[in-house]
Structure 1
Amino acid sequence: MSKIALITGATSGIGEACAHIFAQNGYNLILVARREERLEKISHHLEDKYAISIKQIIADVRDKSTVTESFEALPSDWKNVDVLVNNAGLSQGLEPIDKGNTDDWDTMIDTNVKGLLYVTKVVSNWMTPNKTGHIVNIGSIAGLEVYPNGNVYCASKHAVDALTKAMRIDLLQHEIKVTSINPGAVETEFSLVRFKGDEDRAKKVYENFEPLIANDIADAIWYVVSRPKHVNINDMLIMPTAQATGTIINRK
């Protein structure tokens, strides 16, 4: 049977790019996302193009019961997941701590931290009996440093970094690899979501330099998961050539 990859946040950006590269390499896919129509369109396209099988799960990773129930409802042979890509994540707002919107804080923490945990809890329990598997957590440069007004988003991605290290220790005895992929500026829907649909503000984030694109990160993830069994890439920091830190960018 073909290998299986489970990807969260699969209908846009890095998640969608990962779905393409895994499908191209013959993996069957479990794609998890909130947008049903978009998920169906992507799934049908990949099935037709690469002759693979796909299971679709409509779920918000913040919803623990939905995650648990929908994942466990999969047929038993689909639970032999080889790769989990914890990609679902977002940022909301860009305000100093005293002006922050607490609803935005809840959304970031519930998605970036708790959602990752809910998904990992289920899937790691599928992997452990098989003594194999690879968990890839999508972190951020924001999880390795902090920047003005990034407070809670940075904190949530620092949590991802810490959880990745802790997972690697906890799952070592089960021979499960754990990797953190930490991108700098990637031009996806990220800034549009952060600024709640303000296209002009989102566009300015990527002006006058060449940012990364989703395929750059998907390529790196494929490299990581395609290493020999005895090799694990613990962490990878990927930046545009024009970006030195989270906030220092060479704009032309």
Structure 2
Amino acid sequence: MDRWLNRVAVVTGASSGIGSACCKDLVAKGLTVVGLARREERLQELKASLPADQAKRFHGRKCDVSDEKQVIETFAWIEQNVGGVDVLVNNAGITRDTEITKANNSDDLRAILNTNVLGVSWCTRETFLSLQRRKVNDGHVVIINSIAGHNVPFVPGFNFNLYAPSKHAITALTEVLRQEFQNKGTQTKITSISPGAVDTEIIPDQIKELVTDFPMLRSEDVADAVSYCISTPPNVQIHELTIKPVGEKF
């Protein structure tokens, strides 16, 4: 991780769960971290929880990644104020309590695609353009995917609706971006990390209560995986990393 000391990492969906854990882990390892989220008060709480020397290197910015204008403005602020993005952790993701065949659910379905697919695309685009403008050749883009991006597990009481298709899109997007980065002659890496169940706000409490013997990962487990992937030698690119809690049945 030494090569990332004092360089800039941006983490989306930083207000809780995996995003918050990634911010804490990366800033503790010496990076300057910009956490993006819609809930600004949570970012302030995160900064206040950090040791003083780390808090100086953490910046929270309110940003809804489903809004392209906000993404462009936020990444421009990052470049102007902290020097541009070297590592991007695309963590922001949502699901909705709906079914694809349910009436009047267009807003829910659109929100999932805008955040989980377009938000990732926009943040990655702005990061790559920042790297190119600064002639930085060794950036790293991490996408927090899901096992639902590779198959659709059956979980009693939980409907994956458009969440699983959005994550399948991310699986394809990872490969498309790998090819684009390579075709542009850069050494910038891209990694998809696909966790199984993680104990975060995205899993409804009723599922945790209804399904017995439902092992889950901690957010910190995924944050550890992010640090591992970005710490590989220059010639090593982890394209896809799948993490499951011991005992997961799907």
- Given that residues 140 and 190 in structure 2 are in contact (C-alpha distance below 8 angstroms), is that contact kept between their aligned partners in structure 1? yes
How has the CA–CA distance of structure 1 residues 3 and 92 changed in structure 2, closer, same or farther, with 3 Å as cutoff? same
Offset, 1:156:
0.2
Pairing 1:94-243 to 2, within 5 Å after superposition: 94-95=98-99, 97-99=100-102, 101-128=105-132, 129-147=135-153, 149-172=159-182, 173-192=185-204, 199=205, 201-204=206-209, 207-243=212-248
- Given that residues 139 and 157 in structure 1 are in contact (C-alpha distance below 8 angstroms), is that contact kept between their aligned partners in structure 2? yes
Q: How many residues are matched?
A: 237
How has the CA–CA distance of structure 1 residues 49 and 114 changed in structure 2, closer, same or farther, with 3 Å as cutoff? same
- Given that residues 27 and 52 in structure 1 are in contact (C-alpha distance below 8 angstroms), is that contact kept between their aligned partners in structure 2? no
* Runs of at least 5 residues in structure 2 that lack an aligned partner in the other structure: none
How has the CA–CA distance of structure 1 residues 206 and 28 changed in structure 2, closer, same or farther, with 3 Å as cutoff? farther
Residues 135-175 of structure 1: CA deviation (Å, up to 9, x unaligned): 00010011001246424111100011111111111012211
| Counterpart amino acid of residue 141 in structure 1 | I
How has the CA–CA distance of structure 1 residues 24 and 209 changed in structure 2, closer, same or farther, with 3 Å as cutoff? same
Offset, 1:206:
6.1
**1:178 is paired with a residue of what secondary structure?**
strand
Which residue number corresponds to residue 76 of structure 2?
A: 72
Indicate the percent of aligned positions where both proteins have the same amino acid: 38
| Counterpart amino acid of residue 134 in structure 1 | H
How has the CA–CA distance of structure 1 residues 114 and 52 changed in structure 2, closer, same or farther, with 3 Å as cutoff? same
The farther-off stretch of 7-16 and 150-159 is 150-159
- Given that residues 27 and 58 in structure 2 are in contact (C-alpha distance below 8 angstroms), is that contact kept between their aligned partners in structure 1? no
CA distance in 1, matches of 2:65, 2:46: 19
Pairing 1:10-25 to 2, within 5 Å after superposition: 10-25=14-29
| Counterpart amino acid of residue 168 in structure 1 | R
- Given that residues 13 and 214 in structure 1 are in contact (C-alpha distance below 8 angstroms), is that contact kept between their aligned partners in structure 2? yes
CA distance in 2, matches of 1:188, 1:94: 19
How has the CA–CA distance of structure 1 residues 59 and 47 changed in structure 2, closer, same or farther, with 3 Å as cutoff? farther
Q: CA RMSD in A?
A: 1.9
TM-score (ref. length: structure 1) = 0.87
**1:74 is paired with a residue of what secondary structure?**
helix
TM-score (ref. length: structure 2) = 0.88
* Runs of at least 5 residues in structure 1 that lack an aligned partner in the other structure: 193-198, 246-252
